Structures are given as structure tokens and as C-alpha cells.
Amino acid sequence: MTRTFFIFMLASSIASAQQAEPPQTKPAPLDWNATSSNPRSSALEIASRNKALGFARRDGFWSGTLEKNKPALIALHLFTRNNYSFSAANLTPGSRIRVSIFDQLGNPTNSEESMDDTSATVGISPAHSDRYYIRLELTEGDKAETCMVYSYK
């Protein structure tokens, strides 16, 4: 009885998770005037911590409003043998961001992830030179102006 119940619960958790992929948000267009905005400054500051390790920051960035259950998905072309670090930040108290990386087939990659109150950083050394996807999502909080930058070496 207990075993059946356990299997049932496990199966239902898998089924509900597979249906749980949230819809995509339509992020705000690139805001070129936001160079001094706080989320970008904060994201750049986090990315700068890697500079001593030889990482160069890209000038391009994604910025927009993240809402709970409405992640942003960004496509990028990454090259094997490079190392990449993606940093996202917002300044909304009580919100948490998660940054995840998916390969060209949409499979989550074996990457590191770290989180604190309003920022998250994730790194990858791509197995292949190809298209990858970066997903930004709020795991706590309802809405937050967010910026993501990345660096490479």
C-alpha cells in the first residue's frame, strides 16, 4: 500500500513537472539608455569579480521586468573551450533570481549555480560550439527589474 502510494506520488510529480514549463515572457527591448541603471551596474559589478580570473565582460546586456512564473529565455551562440559566466541582478528586496543554461536541444546543462538575495551567477564550459539558452526566472517575489550580462575567457 505504502509502496504503491509512493510510486503514485513520484509519477504524479514527474507528470506535473513536465507540464510546469512556464510560458515565455516578452521582455522589454534592449534599453541602451540604461547603462547607469542600478540592475545593470549591479550585474556588471558581479561580473567584474571574475575579471581577476581573466574574464572579459561583454558590453551587450538583457534588461527587462521579470515576473514570477514568466521567465525570460535568451538565445546565444557559445564556443567550446571558452568559459562563460552569466550574472543577473535586480534591486528589489525579497526577490530571488535563478539563471539556468540549456543546450541546443533544450536540455539543462551540467552547470554551476549560485544565488543570493538579488543576484545569481552561473557558469559553463560548453561541450560544443552551438546555440545555448539562458533562462532567467524569479523564484521569489512577484516582479523585478532585472539585468543580465555575461563574461568569457
Partner 1 sequence: MRVSIALALLAFFAGNLAFARFSPLDEQSMQSAVFMETLSLPSAGEYFSAVDKRFEPNWTKLLRPMVPVATPLREHLALQIGVLIADCHIAIEAQDGQATKNYGRDILNLAKKLNVSQNVLARGQNISDLAEKGDWLTLREELDAMQNDIRLSMQEQNDYDLLVFLMIGSWVRQMEVACDLFIQTPTPDASELLIQPEILNHLLDRLHGLPEKSRANPMAQTFLGRLQGLQPLMTQGSLNPLPEASVQDISATMKAILNISSELPPKP
Residues 15-74 that bind partner 1 (CB under 8 A): 16-18, 20-21, 24, 27, 30, 32, 51, 54, 56-62, 72-74
- Using the rule CB under 8 A, is 115 a contact of partner 1? no
Alpha helices in the chain (DSSP H): 2-19, 38-48
CB-nearer residue toward partner 1: 93 or 121: 121
Strands (E) across 28-105 are located at 56-57, 62-67, 72-78, 84-90, 96-102
Asked whether the beta carbons of 28 and 146 are under 8 A apart, the reply is no
Closest CA to 86 of 22, 34, 38, 147: 147
User: Which residues of this protein are in contact with partner 1, per CB under 8 A?
Assistant: 2, 5-6, 9-10, 12-14, 16-18, 20-21, 24, 27, 30, 32, 51, 54, 56-62, 72-82, 98, 100, 102, 105-108, 128-131, 133, 135, 150, 152-153
